[in-house]
Structure 1
């Protein structure tokens, strides 16, 4: 009699596609080219793509399941959709512009099996030239509140001039992982509910890790032997992604707590005032960027006052994700 027992899925890999067909195909092929020894599945969520059709991906690989969403529900909720459908003991949230070049998928699984005390972990994230990318963020909310209040990465001209806006963290300060690669146990999702759907994109992983994963007592780690290459696009200080990043940052501190939010808001207003006053002192070469940055921050503020503050700051409190008008369908 033939053995018809279905093999248990060990790992569910969740990938989002939003009109990134070429990257997504390359990502899928990199997994296929470095197949692990354990049973796995790939859940590809076509997140309301305007150009890419789900049929472009269906049937490419036997492990692949394609979920076609009619609208863009955001990075976090798109991953939630995949995790709700996942059958694996472990989940891997992987960006469509992240690629394998060795057997790091097997290495990560072996790390998870050998370290049951670690509930969520990242890997070594590399640029295309294999130089390292920052893949973690601060554990201390107090220092982050202070930094956010000062807005040292956005509006504080003096601090940016001194090159102090990128905070490096030590091994003992791990507070969370960037969303391009997150390897987690199923129970982490089951216990915390996943990403807050109020975020369209940006800051959703920060909220999940700081506000719920850490408070639930789950332990974080890094499997440095596992590696991926991650493509990172340049940032335009007047672009839509930059504007959405600013808005999502306000939402994060609103979720963190009312005091943190208003400290952040006050710090921003003070720094915007300073930035406006020192504009004549900014060099001619830097002035256009300085003015675009200042203008972008000012464009976001009305939505902070008249949209963000309309709803409570609990999990999933909004009818849809908070988005700048360029992303509203």
Structure 2
């Protein structure tokens, strides 16, 4: 009885992950969740219209307590996670890629910052590469350049020697592993589904911050990421969405002179350089993906985010 009361006294955490034709990889993640020490969490797998229904393999296999939500269409990263939230009961949503593996005290550590600061809306762990377990992928984010649209994760590619073991507020969350409070979502809104793949967590980070919340890097929390299993380390799909969504992100979040400078930089330098490289290497499918990514912007109306980067954040009381 006392043990049940102890479990019920802590907040429920909803782990949400997306599966797309990768049931075996997803099951590896689910297997790793058995290590979690935190006593109260649920696991939701959103299947993005995979060719084969993974429900039997997951639920009737070794993970009967996992809830599988099947989508009739591929909703992408943002849409899939939004669907997962609709089925989640937790006070906190923990979004994690299906190609990650957790560590035992991950949830406990991620919850700590929320207890001390109500302004925190998203907490991310330190991320290391699964195949190179001492090499860092994420230890927070550098600020965005409004003129080039570039940012990158702190510590990327560095061997972890404790140099980023100091926790603190950071500029962006990492989509591979981010815990978000239900309150932040209720006030800041869900992910924008026009991105489909890539840049959606950067856009959402800006959206949540404009609602008055902070993003926090929790150095004591650790997760391992296999990275790019879904679309490959290089593919026409990746080129298309990275190209399209970098411009989409900037158009939605930046205005005025910085946006004009970015567009000039993007078209005269970044895109021209990429097109030249693909042409020289004879990578015509990549070149076509680049072209289609730009054409998309002439055929779709962009819905700007409320309060762009030049606008002050709304205070949360």
- The alignment status of 1:23 with 2:21, answered yes or no, reads no
Question: For residues 133 and 69 of structure 1, what CA distance do their matches in structure 2 show?
Answer: 30
CA distance in 1: counterparts of 2:221 and 2:271, whole angstroms? 45
The alpha carbon displacement at 1:86 in A equals 1.4
Contact 1:178 1:205 in 2 (8 A): yes
Larger radius of gyration: 1
Matched, 1:305 2:298: yes
| Aligned-residue offset at 1:293 | 6.2
TM-score between the two structures when normalised by the length of structure 1: 0.74
Name the structure 1 match of 2:198: 202
Distance (whole Å) between structure 2 residues aligned to residue 20 and residue 264 of structure 1: 37
Q: What CA distance in whole angstroms lies between the structure 2 residues aligned with 1:63 and 1:112?
A: 27
Is 1:174 paired with 2:170? Answer: yes
After superposition, the C-alpha distances for 1:256-282 in whole angstroms (9 at most, x for unaligned) are 1454555433322212686499x6xx8
Is residue 271 of structure 2 the alignment partner of residue 268 of structure 1? no
Residue number among 97, 117, 120 corresponding to 1:118 in the alignment: 120
Query: Of 103, 108, 111, which residue of structure 1 is paired with 2:110?
Result: 108
What is the total number of aligned residue pairs between the two structures? 284
- Cα separation, 2, equivalents of 1:183 and 1:173: 14
2:90 equivalent to 1:95: no
Deviates more, 1:131-140 or 1:74-83: 131-140
Q: Secondary structure at the match of 1:133?
A: strand
Q: Distance in 2 between matches of 1:193 and 1:287?
A: 44
Match of 1:75 in 2: 77
- Report the CA distance between 1:220 and its aligned residue: 1.8
TM-score (norm 2): 0.77
Rounded to whole Å, the distance in 2 between the matches of 1:269 and 1:184 is 35
* Deviations 1:33-67, CA, capped at 9 Å, x for gaps: x1324311111111121234333222443542111
Q: Check whether the contact 2:128–2:225 (CA below 8 A) recurs between aligned residues.
A: yes
**What are the superposed Cα offsets for residues 159-211 of structure 1, whole Å, 9 maximum, x if unpaired?**
xxxxxx9675898782111101111211011111220111111111111111x
| Further displaced range: 50-59 or 92-101 | 50-59
Greater mean alpha carbon deviation, residues 118-127 or residues 263-272: 263-272
Structure 2 match to 1:251: 248
- Contiguous gaps of at least 5 residues in structure 1: 153-164, 316-329
Q: What 5-or-longer segments of structure 2 have no aligned partner?
A: 156-163, 307-317
Alpha carbons of 1:185 and 1:173: their partners in 2 closer, same or farther (altered >3 Å)? closer
User: Corresponding residue for 1:235?
Assistant: 233
Alpha-carbon displacement from aligned partner over 1:8-42 (angstroms, at most 9, x marks no partner): 7521111111112111101011001x132431111
What's the Cα RMSD here? Answer: 3.4
Look up the SS of the partner of 1:78 in the other structure: helix
Checking the alignment, whether the CA contact within 8 Å between 1:58 and 1:65 is kept in structure 2 is yes
1:157 matched to which residue of 2?
none
**SS of the residue aligned with 1:96?**
coil
